[in-house]
Amino acid sequence: MNSSASFWRWFWVVVIAVPIAVFIVWANITNPRQFVSTLLNGVTLAALYFLVASGFTLVFGLMRNVNLAHGSLYLFGAYMGWVVGDATENWFLAIAAGFASAALVGFLLQISVFRFMQGQELRQTMVTIGISIVLADLMLWWFGGEIYSFDPPRAIFKSMPMLVVNKYPTYRVVVLGIAIVIGLVLWWFLNRTKVGMMIRAGVDDRNMLAASGVNVQRVFAITFAIGAGLAGFAGVIGGTALSISPGEDTRYLMASLVVVIVGGMGSIPGAAVGALLIGLAEQFGLAYAPTYGVVFTFVIMVLVLAFRPTGILGRRAA
Amino acid sequence: MSAAQWRRAMNSSAGGNAWARPAGASASSPAVVARAASTPPVGASVAFGEAIRAIRFRHVVILLAVLIYPWVATPFFVYQIGGQALALGLIALSLTFLGGYGGMVSLAQMATAGVAGYMVAIFGIAGEAQGGASSLGWPWWIAVPIGIAIATLFATFVGWLSVRTEGIYTIMITLAIGVSFYYLVQQNYSIFGGHEGFNEVHAPTVLGANFSHAIPYYYLALFWALTGYFFIKYLLRAPFGVALQGVRENARRMNALGFDVTAHRIAAYSIAGVLAGIGGVLMVWYNGRISPGTVGTGPMLDILIIAVLGGMRHPIGPFIGAILFVLVQNFAIDIIARERFNLVIGVVFLSIVLFSPDGLLGLWGYVRTRFQAGGVQLKLKGRSVG
């Protein structure tokens, strides 16, 4: 029994790892430049996905609330950031506005709607779907179907020297740096501050946290605001890298969903691992198999669900 | 489903286990009680007689109304409202069956319908598509069964994948699958025709009836909607349906009773896949074309909206929801503006979810019980005075 289980584990490792290794060797021999630039694109896209998905997974982990309006919050933050950036001509203020506006919406949603349906997970999810439909249409109404783009400081929007590929857009590297910083800040916040400890305690056992005298509703509201704020923050960062237009909400909701399903629901390191896998899969898919790119993402999701239904770093819900 | 019914069903199918539900978990909402009272439990042999006796006056009226509807309504109302509502209702019925009775809210039902639609276009007759995708041009009586069969396989696969997780995870995973399918058909030109999809996918002419015309299409959609409706009604009282509802209530207990929970769930997905597949074929014939827009996030959520609007506690719910949805879709232009349809339907959906989680049926049940309770009180008052 035991030996057969370990045999199957090795079997699958070989089945999955060998083709990947062969591909890496082949791609490096035939066109190392394409390979390295795809790798860089994948890692930097993963950074953006991590920014979006970390808020989603934070909210899910604590409140078991599948916030399907997360993509709309992303887009909302991006539009608000654009409005502020356009008025003040300051990109950093735009980022702050993106975070603050989305955080405010998240906070209001938690204290005015979700607080009253605690524990009704399916209903909460339905409500977030309704909110996403309404928000998407309101934003389409207000901002129209045009494509908006940001005007970041020149210094970070040039290209920089890079090994093998020679030149690479600075901004993409900046996004990677921001994601790493945000990841570290989240780690520090969750592990070293009192509120963070409350959040972690709430993820493990909500009732016990309430029983020890913590105002759980306040912790929930803070968490929801941070999660939503991260979506808005990512909206400005991602909107600068690409652009803002209707439909981006679905794209980033989808990205957060898949990242979180693959990485493990409710786990921040899981979001990082999932984002890396999905970002790389997407970029390599686009570069090497254009019309089947999305299949790679899907195959990763299927494999993870088949062998680890709770995600790579996920734990079963308490 | 009342506790008594449960026990009887369990006794007949699980070898006489004494099995009682805990008092707190027994059916307590008025809607459930009302339904239990109106649908007596069936033994296989008496089912037909029971079904005949269960027919009420209002059922006959509704059946007659839907049958003579196309002869009194304008072609617009027959095709755009009636035909579309029946096709969408059938797809939403598959979700009601899965979500309301299996406890698995799947957002991939539109993707399943889309698979059937695409397969009909690919195997059957369609206009020239972009990027080298071409249909095989097989006759409809080969293409349609193939389409529904592949849709069923797809649904079974979705089920196999998503039953590994439970509750709200299901909604996430099926949403991810649905959106993946959308991106696949949009990016892929060699098979699915990319952004444009397939045009000129027309309903066939059979025995002189051209099903792309309003009245024949309406009757075709009505036939399949009624078939789907009565099939689900039958299935819910058959051992499989009862066991499925048991799985919804308490999967661990059903497992302990010796039921294969996973198999029941996957089978439910397959059955829902057949319904969604038929609905998908009707849908592609209704539109005359299929493109990624047909299976995008919007239409995926529309199916959920329809099912929730109508109410997931009875198989008639999705059809009521579909009629309301199609009416709002066509007449939102009079309320606000055509482009703001999503806003109207989103607000309607939000208010239903917030204030009446059982949809219009729940609202109706609430009004009825309030009304009846009021009547009883009046009677009691009169007696105490007298």
Kindly report, residue by residue over B328-378, the tens digit of the pLDDT: 888 877 766 667 788 888 888 888 888 877 888 888 888 888 877 655 554
Interface predicted TM-score (ipTM) of this complex, two decimals: 0.79
Q: How many domains does chain B have?
A: 1
CATH no. for residue B182?
A: 1.10.3470
The reported pLDDT for the residue numbered B386 is: 37
Q: Does the structure show a pLDDT above 60 at B140?
A: yes
Q: Which residue of B has its CA nearest to A262?
A: B173
Q: Does the structure show a pLDDT above 90 at A261?
A: no
The pLDDT of A41-61, averaged and rounded, is 90
Asked whether residue B327 is domain-assigned, the answer is: yes
Nearest-Cα distance to chain A for B75, in Å, is 31
Q: Percent of chain B having pLDDT more than 70?
A: 80
| Residue B229 banded pLDDT, cuts 50, 70, 90 | very high
| Buried-exposed string B98-124: b where 16+ CB fall within 10 A, e elsewhere | bbbbbbbbbbbbbbbbbbbbbbbbbbb
The reported pLDDT for the residue numbered A46 is: 93
- Inspect the interface and report whether the beta carbons of A134 and B190 lie closer than 8 Å: no
Asked whether residue B48 is domain-assigned, the answer is: no
Asked whether residue B271 is domain-assigned, the answer is: yes
Phi, psi of A166 (to 5 degrees): 70, -65
Nearest-Cα distance to chain A for B190, in Å, is 8
The reported pLDDT for the residue numbered B272 is: 94
Nearest-Cα distance to chain A for B327, in Å, is 18
Average pLDDT over all residues of chain A: 85
* B110 touching A (Cβ < 8 Å): no
* B176 touching A (Cβ < 8 Å): yes
Asked whether residue B93 is domain-assigned, the answer is: yes
The reported pLDDT for the residue numbered B385 is: 40
Nearest neighbour of B342 by CB, restricted to A64, A137, A261: A137
* Token digits of residue A236: 């400005």
The reported pLDDT for the residue numbered B338 is: 61
* Token digits of residue A215: 């105002």
Distance from C-alpha of A168 to C-alpha of A172, rounded to nearest angstrom: 8
The reported pLDDT for the residue numbered B1 is: 45
Distance from C-alpha of B187 to C-alpha of B182, rounded to nearest angstrom: 9
Cβ contacts (< 8 Å) between B105 and chain A: which residues? 122
From the candidates A59, A134, A138, A259, which should be mutated to test the interface with B, based on the most B CB atoms within 10 A? Answer: A134
The reported pLDDT for the residue numbered A3 is: 64
Query: What digits encode the pLDDT tens for the residues B38-51?
Result: 444 445 555 667 66
Nearest neighbour of A261 by CB, restricted to B167, B172, B308: B172
Exposure of B150 in the CB half-sphere (CA atoms within 13 A): 19
- Inspect the interface and report whether the beta carbons of B346 and A127 lie closer than 8 Å: no
- Decide if B88 contacts B228 (C-beta within 8 A): no
The reported pLDDT for the residue numbered B374 is: 58
Residue B125 three-state SS: coil
The reported pLDDT for the residue numbered B337 is: 65
Asked whether residue B112 is domain-assigned, the answer is: yes
Residues 6+ positions from B267 with CB-CB distance below 8 Å = B240
Query: What digits encode the pLDDT tens for the residues B254-288?
Result: 889 988 888 999 999 999 999 999 999 999 998 88
Query: What digits encode the pLDDT tens for the residues B12-69?
Result: 444 333 333 333 333 334 444 344 444 444 455 556 676 677 777 778 888 888 888 8
Q: Which of A129-138, A177-186, B119-128 shows the lowest per-residue confidence on average (mean pLDDT)?
A: B119-128
- Inspect the interface and report whether the beta carbons of A305 and B168 lie closer than 8 Å: no
Domain residue extents for chain A:
40-246
- Report DSSP state, residue B200: -
* B336 touching A (Cβ < 8 Å): no
Number of neighbouring beta carbons within 10 Å of residue A33: 11
- Inspect the interface and report whether the beta carbons of B175 and A257 lie closer than 8 Å: yes
- Inspect the interface and report whether the beta carbons of B175 and A297 lie closer than 8 Å: no
- Cα torsion A79, B345, A220, A208: sign: negative
* B345 touching A (Cβ < 8 Å): yes
- Contact residues, chain A to chain B, C-beta under 8 Å: 64, 66, 68, 113, 121-123, 125-127, 129-131, 133-134, 136-138, 140-141, 250, 254, 257-258, 260-261, 265, 290-295, 297-298, 301-302, 305-306, 309-310
pTM for the full model? 0.80
Asked whether residue B213 is domain-assigned, the answer is: yes
Query: What digits encode the pLDDT tens for the residues B283-320?
Result: 999 888 888 888 888 888 889 989 988 888 888 889 99
Q: How far is CA B312 from CA A82, A262, B78, B173, B302, in A?
A: 42, 30, 26, 21, 15
Sequence-ordered strand ranges (E) for A47-158? none
Q: Percent of chain A having pLDDT more than 70?
A: 97
Cβ contacts (< 8 Å) between A72 and chain B: which residues? none
The reported pLDDT for the residue numbered B12 is: 44
Nearest-Cα distance to chain A for B145, in Å, is 26
Distance from C-alpha of A50 to C-alpha of A182, rounded to nearest angstrom: 9
Asked whether residue B298 is domain-assigned, the answer is: yes
The reported pLDDT for the residue numbered B51 is: 66
* B342 touching A (Cβ < 8 Å): yes
Average pLDDT over all residues of chain B: 78
The reported pLDDT for the residue numbered A298 is: 80
Asked whether residue B23 is domain-assigned, the answer is: no
Q: Print the domain residue range for B85.
A: 74-381
* B172 touching A (Cβ < 8 Å): yes
